[in-house]
């Protein structure tokens, strides 16, 4: 069995990692850290893990204990202080923060307001959307687990940009549940403020904007302009991204659907559907994608996923499976909740 640990296991993504790993057929969860909760039972913080995860939080990983892979669910700015020592000890790392996602340290500084302290490992990190960058993930020791919005957006757009079928500009209208904001309550996520409305936020300034641009440029090989507007929805889990791009040449819907079907042939966690449904993917590692033609040459692409699973912890485990040479679907091959 593969030995795994989680650094930062008190939040939603850490708890979701533990939920998925506790039933993984090839990976055993050996340790979970939390400075705030050190000494307490993991199941006391995440009650749904009672009877499944019999661990207590530790202050830090045992320096004498070696793990095959470590999932780092620490805040932005903290991960880059933790990851170097793990790599030096020969462990594989999947980092769920934003510290290793943007390949240019100057772009990172601009969007995160921090100087990058681990440029050496930033240069060797692999951006981990498996369906798009699987070969690189398979060779990696450090994978930067993508953000939820970039995952949902880029999976929806990659076939078009990869085939050079659309102009190099995309408008993204994205909506996510409140769990994407983390466990700490804020004025915006306070139920009376968000419980009965949809709110745009960080328009033009969201940190996922350059990440979407970087990933799509990797796929297309050309500069791309991304206009990204996120919204908060009064649901807990799930997200829906609606993207608008312009075709370079006229195509009918059947041809577009065939292009997507070929691009994602054999991809277990991608479903092409007529109308993506958040309820169909919540609780699962699946992403549903649909498309329509509008006007003369506009393609509207809709994609849906669970921001805590395929948008975070599930994708992290999918990446780990690839890095470790395991079946990519191990511990993840189950349907969404449906309601």
Q: Any idea which residues carry the catalytic annotation?
A: 148
Closest CA to 66 of 88, 84, 44: 88
The structure tokens listed for 34 are: 């939390």
Which stretches of 4-53 are DSSP H helices? 12-21, 42-45
Containing 47, the helix (H) or strand (E) segment is none
CA-to-CA distance for 232 and 203, rounded, in angstroms?
Answer: 12
* Among the listed residues 146, 162, 152, 182, the one whose alpha carbon sits nearest the alpha carbon of residue 319: 146
- Spatial contact of 63 and 82, defined as CB atoms under 8 Å apart: no
- Copy the structure tokens of residue 307: 């921001």
CA end-to-end span of the chain: 34
Asked whether the beta carbons of 263 and 289 are under 8 A apart, the reply is no
Answer yes or no: are the C-beta atoms of 25 and 31 closer than 8 Å: no
CB contact burial 101-127 (16+ within 10 A = b; e otherwise): bbeebebbeebbeeebebeebbeebbb
**Of 171, 170, 173, nearest to 223 (Cα)?**
170
Residue with token string 């990983």: 61
Identify the CA nearest to 310 among candidates 128, 200, 148: 148
Structure tokens at 116: 């990058």
């Amino acid at each position: 069995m593969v030995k795994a640990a989680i650094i930062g296991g008190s939040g939603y993504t850490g708890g979701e990692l533990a939920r998925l790993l506790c039933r993984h057929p090839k990976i055993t969860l050996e340790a979970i850290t939390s400075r705030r909760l050190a000494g307490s039972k993991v199941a006391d913080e995440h009650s749904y893990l009672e009877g499944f995860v019999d661990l207590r939080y530790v202050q830090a990983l045992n320096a004498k204990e070696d793990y095959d892979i470590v999932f780092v669910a620490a805040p932005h700015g903290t991960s880059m202080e933790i990851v170097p020592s793990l790599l030096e000890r020969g462990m594989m790392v999947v980092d769920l923060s934003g510290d290793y996602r943007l390949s240019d340290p100057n772009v990172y500084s601009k969007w995160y307001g921090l100087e990058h302290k681990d440029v050496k490992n930033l240069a060797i990190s692999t951006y981990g959307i498996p369906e798009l960058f699987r070969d690189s993930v398979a060779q990696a020791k450090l994978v930067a687990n993508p953000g939820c919005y970039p995952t949902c957006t880029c999976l929806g757009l990659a076939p078009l940009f990869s085939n050079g079928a659309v102009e190099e500009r995309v408008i993204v209208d994205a909506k996510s549940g409140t769990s994407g904001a983390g466990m700490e309550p804020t004025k915006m996520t306070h139920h009376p403020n968000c419980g009965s409305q949809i709110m745009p936020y960080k328009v033009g300034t969201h940190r996922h904007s350059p990440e979407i641009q970087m990933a799509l440029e990797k796929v297309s090989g050309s500069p791309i302009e991304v206009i990204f507007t996120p919204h908060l929805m009064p649901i807990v889990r799930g997200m829906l991204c609606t993207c608008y791009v312009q075709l370079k040449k006229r195509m009918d819907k059947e041809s577009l659907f065939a292009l997507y079907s070929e691009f994602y042939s054999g991809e277990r966690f991608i479903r092409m559907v007529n109308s993506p449904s958040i309820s169909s993917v919540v609780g699962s590692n699946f992403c549903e994608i649909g498309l329509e033609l509008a006007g003369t040459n506009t393609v509207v692409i809709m994609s849906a996923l669970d921001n805590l699973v395929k948008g975070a912890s599930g994708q992290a485990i999918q990446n780990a499976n690839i890095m470790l040479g395991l079946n990519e679907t191990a511990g993840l091959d189950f349907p969404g909740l449906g309601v």
